[in-house]
Amino acid sequence: MASVAQTLGTGTAGTIQNDESIVVRFAGDSGDGMQLTGGQFTLSSALAGNDFATFPDFPAEIRAPQGTTFGVSAFQINFGSGAIDTPGDAPDVLVAMNPAALKTNVGNLKPGGLIIADEGEFGARNLAKAGYEVNPLEDGSLAKWQLVKFNISQLTLEAVKPFGLGNKEALRCKNMWTLGLALWMFDRDRQPLIDWLNGKFKKNQVLADANIAALNAGHAYGETIEIGGQVKRHHVNPASVAPGLYRTITGAEAVAFGLVAGAQLASMPMFFGGYPITPASSILHYLSNLKEYGITTFQAEDEIAAIASAIGASYAGQLGVTSSSGPGIALKGEAIGLAIMTELPLVIVNSQRGGPSTGLPTKTEQSDLYQAVYGRNGDAPLPVIAARSPSDAFDCAIEAVRIAVQYMTPVMLLTDGYIGNAAEPWAVPDMSTYKPFPVKFLDEVPEAGFKPYSRDAKLARPWVKPGTPGLIHRIGGIEKQVDTGHLDYSPANHQAMTDIRKAKVDGIAHGVPEQDVTLGAAGGKLAVVGWGSTYGAIHQAVSRARAKGLDVSQIHVRHIWPLPTNLGELLKSYDKVIVPEMNTGQFKTVLRDQYLIDAKPVNKVSGQPFTIAELEAAIEEALA
Amino acid sequence: MNDMTPVKTSPKDWETDQEVRWCPGCGDYAILKAVQRTMPELGVKPENTVFVSGIGCSSRFPYYMETYGFHTIHGRACAVATGVKLANPELDVWIITGDGDALSIGGNHTMHLLRRNLNCQILLFNNEIYGLTKGQYSPTSREGTKTPSTPFGSVDRPATPCAFALGSGARFLARAIDTHKNLPNVLKAAHAHQGAAFVEIFQNCIVYNADVFADFTDKANAAPNQLWLEDGKPVLFDGGNKGIALDRDKLQLKVVEVVDGDWQAAGVIVHDVTNRSVAHMLIELRLQDGFPVALGVIFDDPRPTFDSAVIAQNVAVSKGKTPDLQGLLAKGQTWTVEKENTVFG
Ligand code: SF4
């Protein structure tokens, strides 16, 4: 069977090729609207019933100089009729809106893949900005791919001419023209997009009409080039998914919704203290719009104030939540220790990005695991949960809230830039199937008398709201006496309190599910152990390796700290363990430390997610 | 407070059973007593009162008050208190901090709390030194202060807490002295103010910076060097023999002699707590320039508070909206799969 890439450009006119899955990458200048194009194409894929995964890949600069390679913004989508776990290793189709977009993205295009280039943007200036001496569309350097070029800019200008827009505004419709062509190529209905444009430009019908005209023109152009047989149409059948209501969701939305759901299940108002940071700010944005859910959002003066105010809110009887990315989490470190010491519930979300220091603000990485598990002064145990995908982030956020309020502890929820921005289809959950865990404040003096640091079966101390008569007490970051909570520096007491804090967090492992084998058998030659956003790539790689008859299983860990009680035994039932991570081997070190097993690292720190092929190679190497 | 009926308490009701651990003779003792004496007069309930502190000698204060208390981390009391107050605006929040805590490590939070105008009282114990860490100079130490970290004398210029507060947008400024009988009156005025009430208390650190304020706090120096302000009253000191007038040519304050009590003839100004321009000038008066130290309520001109604005907006934008999580999750770009593979947009 010819690969998708091979058939893309060479079809016969009038036929539509059926494919299982296709990877398309839209790349252009930051100002070209590629994220919007990708987002709308994603919706169209959803409505066509495909499963999909997306990967928005944008520059750190807000408005990088036009035409430069560092100003390129890209959006990749993998859609298919089977289960799709990753945005795809390499695109079958690359839409390049200018030379810089071509230059930075063509290297990854599958051999035989299709390039659609806007040749109107390949003038001398743009070529120079991208560092091309000769026009790559003319010099044969793209020979190993199928190249289709036309002047999208010019065609767009012509299409929107009747609407009398200025040149700049008219050119802004380029992305809709391109989207129209893509809709034609992949046999998609235009109507939902037309509805969406009418809604988006409600207040400016001319703009709506111009964009719709561009969309239609792109679509019509497809019909024309089809006549020339340059580009072939493709159809991807709907994926077989369980009946129900679906929506697209990004990790940032899922975290926000999960926090709202968690607060509701806990019967608690939520206080969210945040400070703007890429890629975590969107959680603050989402929650700021949901005040009717009993949510107070507070944009603090800095990261420290963001967490300190959340701690203050938890102390006063709300669910305190804060979120950030690595550099901000570093600033919050001392305050996390305060929440551990005062034993107050708190959820801390870390949307990880490339580090250290400012690092790669818009790129993804998993390199804050040490920071989450170990990164504080003193013996400061902190439960850590990692979400594996955008939709999983919803359940993880609920779980973080549950642990925080039931164990009176701060909890760290790890996501990353990839999960935060990527979209996937999500079967909207039925909230009535979630078990509530309402918080019970202590509101009267217990029979045995009130002790602020007395313990329940989970070793959690009582949560008392200031304002409650009879339960006046003081807390703080200084070591406190077992039970009474009075200041106490004595050696035996510090030993006892350190032991209790550790035992409490260790005990959480008894309240979470045992580790399952995500794919494959318990025991065997090789376990691929992952955590966080590498889930999809590992899943595909393991499933392909198993299809080839290799004895390999996937184990994907949600509870990073404390680890599930059976994980050690489970890992010891395999001859070999490899741990793919987007860092230099952090979880691998934790596993080695906890279980004295010879876990081997598979690392990638390029700011890009693993490809399936990379992991397949790692599996084959481990089994060789 | 919801329930405005004054509650009857005695100073004893505000004392804890905890052993007070300040150095003997520390000014903090006098402040603690003054606060415990003042609380009954405010008619508030101990359980509705929260003392939040940072780190430093002064920040041990909450342990000695029979109220809810939170001894937080260095510099962050204002930030924690903001969360407390926003989560439950019914609570009466007092922040206890020091010159290092509020103006050095926590300067950012102090500035923003004042700018936002959180409804609370901030008591800044200014002893011009780091006591708890054994005597390093602080952001309010005068130039030339010799300490273990500045053995040859400090070379940086000190901050003026009230100037910092006013510049940050504070709507209430007052000054008091740890052992002075007027402290409770200042505390009462601070409590009565709706919004962030900033009170600088000159506090004697007997161990590391003894008598640094003696030039104006000693009995012998009090009359000529203490300028106690009262709203609507002429700005007089030294037993009424001197007053503060406006030098209209230089647009600054000057000291004038008052003969036979005729302050009007001497051009003495009348204190108006809502006059921000004069407040600026009053807090900058310095002993070394021949002025007395301005004390009491310097500025008091309330504005809407941050917490009330946050709550008001929460209520306003929630109006008519029923929280419906299930509906929220199902919003946006949705589609229904009826049977397998049949999609409805
Ligand atoms: S070091 Fe100074 S400020 Fe601290 S308790 Fe002793 S006397 Fe008071």
Q: Where are the domains of chain B?
A: 11-212
**pLDDT over 50 (residue A6):** no
What does the pLDDT read at residue A551?
Answer: 98
Alpha helices in A450-560 (DSSP H): 491-507, 535-547
Weakest-pLDDT range from A31-45, A212-226, A228-242, A465-479: A228-242
Q: Give the closest-approach CA distance of A234 to chain B in angstroms.
A: 18
What does the pLDDT read at residue B4?
Answer: 62
Instruction: Single out the residue of A564, A553, A560, A556 nearest to residue A389, CA to CA.
Output: A556
How much distance in Å is there from the Cα of B129 to the middle of ligand 1? 9
Judged by CB atoms closer than 8 Å, whether chains meet at A305 and B310 is answered as no
pLDDT 10s digits, A100-109: 999 999 999 9
- The Cα B81–Cα B70 span in angstroms is 9
Q: Which CATH architecture has domain B11-212?
A: 3-Layer(aba) Sandwich (3.40)
Judged by CB atoms closer than 8 Å, whether chains meet at A245 and B334 is answered as yes
Chain A residues 433-472 with CB within 8 Å of chain B: 465-472
- The Cα A87–Cα A75 span in angstroms is 10
Residues of chain B with Cβ-Cβ distance to A314 below 8 Å are 83, 87
Query: Residue A523: how many CB atoms within 10 A of its CB?
Result: 15
Q: Give the closest-approach CA distance of B226 to chain A in angstroms.
A: 37
Q: Give the closest-approach CA distance of A260 to chain B in angstroms.
A: 8
**pLDDT over 90 (residue A335):** yes
Among B19, B21, B22, the mutation site with the greatest number of ligand 1 atoms within 8 A of its Cβ is B22
DSSP state for residue A624 in the 8-state scheme: -
Kindly report the protein residue whose alpha carbon is nearest to atom 2 of ligand 1. B205
Using DSSP, state whether A502 is helix, strand or coil.
helix
- The Cα B165–Cα B124 span in angstroms is 11
Q: Which atom of ligand 1 is nearest to the CA of B125?
A: 3
What does the pLDDT read at residue B224?
Answer: 97
CA atoms within 13 A on the CB side of B62: 30
Q: Give the closest-approach CA distance of A189 to chain B in angstroms.
A: 11
Name the residue with higher pLDDT: A241 or A345: A345
Average pLDDT over residues A74-84: 93
Q: Which residues in chain B show pLDDT less than 50? A: 1-2, 345
Average pLDDT over residues A325-334: 97
Using DSSP, state whether A465 is helix, strand or coil.
coil
How much distance in Å is there from the Cα of A575 to the middle of ligand 1? 63
Judged by CB atoms closer than 8 Å, whether chains meet at A429 and B329 is answered as yes
Structure token digits, residue A601: 């690292």
Residues within 6 Å of ligand 1 by CB: B 22-23, 26, 28, 57, 127, 131, 205-208
B contact test, residue of A301, A340, A463 with most B CBs within 10 A = A301
- The Cα A361–Cα A448 span in angstroms is 53
Judged by CB atoms closer than 8 Å, whether chains meet at A313 and B310 is answered as no
The set of residues, in sequence order, having a beta carbon less than 8 Å from that of A72 and lying 6+ positions away, is A27, A28, A29, A30, A59, A100, A101, A104, A105
Please state, in angstroms and as integers, the Cα–Cα distance from residue A564 to each residue in A197, A508, A514, A531, B307, following that order: 48, 9, 6, 13, 42
A contact test, residue of B18, B47, B70 with most A CBs within 10 A = B70
What does the pLDDT read at residue B336?
Answer: 85
Q: Which atom of ligand 1 is nearest to the CA of B58?
A: 3
**pLDDT over 60 (residue A7):** no
- The Cα B275–Cα A188 span in angstroms is 69
Q: Which residue of A has its CA nearest to B47?
A: A467
Q: What percent of chain A has pLDDT over 70?
A: 97
Average pLDDT over residues A266-284: 95
Would you mind telling me the total number of residues written for chain A in this entry?
624
Judged by CB atoms closer than 8 Å, whether chains meet at B343 and A238 is answered as yes
Among B124, B127, B211, the mutation site with the greatest number of ligand 1 atoms within 8 A of its Cβ is B127
pLDDT 10s digits, A402-440: 999 999 999 999 999 999 988 888 999 999 999 999 999
**φ, ψ dihedrals at A546, nearest 5°:** -65, -35
- The Cα A256–Cα A254 span in angstroms is 5
Q: DSSP string of A474-498?
A: EEESS-B-TBT--B---HHHHHHHH
pLDDT band of residue A362 (cuts 50, 70, 90) is confident
Residue of A247, A273, A471 lying closest to B334 (CB–CB): A247
pLDDT 10s digits, A553-604: 999 999 999 999 999 999 999 999 999 999 999 999 999 999 999 999 999 9
Using DSSP, state whether A29 is helix, strand or coil.
strand
**Cross-strand pairs, A53:** A78
What does the pLDDT read at residue B131?
Answer: 94
Average pLDDT over residues A324-353: 97
How much distance in Å is there from the Cα of B227 to the middle of ligand 1? 26
Residue whose entry in the numeric block shows the structure tokens 């299983």: A553
Kindly report the protein residue whose alpha carbon is nearest to atom 6 of ligand 1. B23
Residue of A192, A246, A337 lying closest to B337 (CB–CB): A246
pLDDT 10s digits, A175-197: 999 999 999 999 999 998 999 99
Residue of A245, A320, A466 lying closest to B68 (CB–CB): A466
pLDDT band of residue A13 (cuts 50, 70, 90) is very low
Among B60, B204, B208, the mutation site with the greatest number of ligand 1 atoms within 8 A of its Cβ is B208
Judged by CB atoms closer than 8 Å, whether chains meet at A301 and B87 is answered as no
pLDDT band of residue A465 (cuts 50, 70, 90) is very high
Mean pLDDT of the residues in chain A: 93
Residue of B112, B318, B341 lying closest to A240 (CB–CB): B341
The type of residue at B113 is L
What does the pLDDT read at residue A2?
Answer: 41
Residue whose entry in the numeric block shows the structure tokens 């992949």: A186
**pLDDT over 70 (residue A11):** no
**pLDDT over 90 (residue A231):** no
What does the pLDDT read at residue A191?
Answer: 92
**pLDDT over 60 (residue A10):** no
Torsion of CA A325, A327, A333, A339, to 10 degrees: -30
- The Cα A460–Cα A442 span in angstroms is 12
**pLDDT over 70 (residue A229):** no
How much distance in Å is there from the Cα of A334 to the middle of ligand 1? 25
Instruction: Single out the residue of A338, A381, A382, A313 nearest to residue A480, CA to CA.
Output: A338
DSSP state for residue A32 in the 8-state scheme: G
Does the interface ipTM go beyond 0.85? Answer: yes
pLDDT band of residue A3 (cuts 50, 70, 90) is very low
